[in-house]
Amino acid sequence: MIRWGLCCQFLDAPIKFRAATHRYVATPDAGRDYLAAIAADNAAAVAASIRQCRALGIGAFRINSQILPLGTHPVSGYTLDHLDRTGTTRRAFLEAGTLARAADVRLSFHPDQFVVLNSEREAVVESSIQEVEFQADVAELVGADVIVLHGGGGAGGMPAALARLERAVERLSARARSRLALENDDRMYAPNDLLPLCERMGLPLVYDAHHHRCKPDGLSVAEATDRAAATWGRREPYFHLSSPREGWGGGDPRAHADYVNPADVPAEWLGMTVTVDVEAKAKERAVLAVMGEVARRDTRKRALPSAKLDTPATPDGRGNPYRN
């Protein structure tokens, strides 16, 4: 069955993650103690988020990439050990990870757009690697098994850009690389652009169906689903789902809507064992709405004796191993 995921924050639950700016941190009244308090509060918010997801029946939670704000800033940056000299915040993250495992809530990270591993500028690549490694440290503490990145830019043409991406991935530590997953985007990299690299390097692909519809590549949803799922090996695949704000008939389809249109849930995903992050402005309301609609759809299908889910074959003809 589908494990539905929430991205970063809640609308209704009183759970908030604190942020910080370098400008404020650099003032005499702020500094390390201020950042240490934010880190402690955010660690507690992760635990609260896991409890709330469990209470709502939501099976995955994406942790805000600024969970430790300014951590890799060239001036205000820090390590958790330097910030958390008593170890209290580190223990809080570890306890959140224990809680997530007990609640069966899968955790992930999705670094911001400034992380571009295949930039032509070495300084950008260096800072991007530093950011991924920093988030991998926290991911290890809380037990998050996925750090999702887009392919990046396309300067110099697709072959050169993919070659730069491969070289940067090879520079990551084992801790970071074991969690890294690539995602197709809506402007540059379609699934078929990233799949050869993922398959060759053993990297999983997070298949985003909305992005694929914005940037098609000749693969059907069934083909992209099965090839992406195969890159996860024995791990549970991770997909993303959203709907266009203005619908598919008007305006730019890239902007996300408040809710997911049930018609945008790929039929090929029904019956799969897969994590699906709902990227919608209405946050947990949107997750609960699509959860309910899919459950009702499944109930209707089960009520019809002749109804059954199609099981598209994988390229080797054996069928999708992630289907129940």
- Domain hosting 264: range is 2-303
Q: Is residue 95 assigned to a domain?
A: yes
Distances (CA, A) of 160 to 118, 168, 170, 187, 262: 9, 12, 16, 17, 39
Spell out where 201-295 has E strands.
205-208, 238-241, 274-278
* Rounded distance between C-alpha atoms, residue 8 and residue 284, angstroms: 10
> What is the pTM assigned to this prediction?
0.90
- Taking every pair of Cα atoms in the chain, the longest distance, rounded to a whole number of angstroms, is 71
**Exposure of 72 in the CB half-sphere (CA atoms within 13 A):** 21
Q: Is residue 316 assigned to a domain?
A: no
Answer whether 152's CB lies under 8 Å from 182's CB: no
Q: Is residue 294 assigned to a domain?
A: yes
* Rounded distance between C-alpha atoms, residue 267 and residue 310, angstroms: 8
Instruction: Indicate if the alpha-carbon torsion angle 316, 319, 321, 322 is positive or negative.
Output: positive
Q: Is residue 315 assigned to a domain?
A: no
The pLDDT tens digits along the chain (324 residues) read 899 999 999 999 999 999 998 888 887 666 788 899 999 999 999 999 999 999 999 999 999 999 999 999 998 889 999 889 899 999 999 999 999 999 999 999 999 889 999 999 999 999 999 999 999 999 999 999 999 999 999 999 999 999 999 999 999 999 999 999 999 999 999 999 999 999 999 999 999 999 999 999 999 999 999 999 999 999 999 999 999 999 998 789 999 999 999 999 999 999 899 999 999 999 999 999 999 999 888 777 677 665 443 433 333 333 444 444
* Rounded distance between C-alpha atoms, residue 181 and residue 151, angstroms: 10
Query: Nearest-5° angle of CA 93, CA 94, CA 98?
Result: 115
Q: Is residue 169 assigned to a domain?
A: yes
Residue 158 neighbours by CB under 8 Å, 6+ apart: 193
Number of independent structural domains in the chain? 1
Q: Is residue 321 assigned to a domain?
A: no
Find the CATH number of the domain harbouring 120: 3.20.20.150
Rg of the chain (C-alpha set): 20
Of 216, 222, 318, nearest in space to 269 by CA: 222
Q: Is residue 322 assigned to a domain?
A: no
